[in-house]
A and B are shown apart, each in its own frame.
Chain A
Amino acid sequence: GNSVTQMEGPVTLSEEAFLTINCTYTATGYPSLFWYVQYPGEGLQLLLKATKADDKGSNKGFEATYRKETTSFHLEKGSVQVSDSAVYFCALNGAGSYQLTFGKGTKLSVIP
């Protein structure tokens, strides 16, 4: 079946530091890949997505590139802010599927 593995947190960074959160996946066919973000006390929000190999999703300074050869979709941001503190989830839906498979989530704390 499908699965998503992302780096365990928590991750604590200073403001303006570089962020990488690793995500790898297992799926048959050609899944679509997503990063969702969950701020404290809220539901998940889509941060970015990529639907085919070599696509780069980007939003709010975050980027992730769909790497089929390494089955990865790592999240990066060049300079984090305190307001980026949240839990980040990597997810996929398999070809022909409407179900999302989520990773366990990575909690990011950014300190001033």
Chain B
Amino acid sequence: DAGVTQSPTHLIKTRGQQVTLRCSPKSGHDTVSWYQQALGQGPQFIFQYYEEEERQRGNFPDRFSGHQFPNYSSELNVNALLLGDSALYLCASSRKGAPGTGELFFGEGSRLTVL
């Protein structure tokens, strides 16, 4: 049973560029959330997708956008990259309808460095 998989694992971009990160959820999961984790900080919620729609959004600018596909996989896009976007981007999957659950299953993340 494959867990949450993310790609790429590492990437380097320059300021102003655009990046796309990809995520496949754990088998049986239909909801995908994206988190940004800066060095020395806890993960910060970016947004969540369910049924191919953005359902909740954290305090991130419109440069951060996403998509969910019919097979539940998801992409995170960041435009006009800033140095401050350098972070570990974590994808987490869950199954809707599990009230109050805190068990998100995280992928190992995509480490983005912006130069």
Same complex origin of A and B: no
Q: Which residues of B contact A (CB under 8 A)?
A: none
Residues of A whose CB lies within 8 Å of any CB of B are none
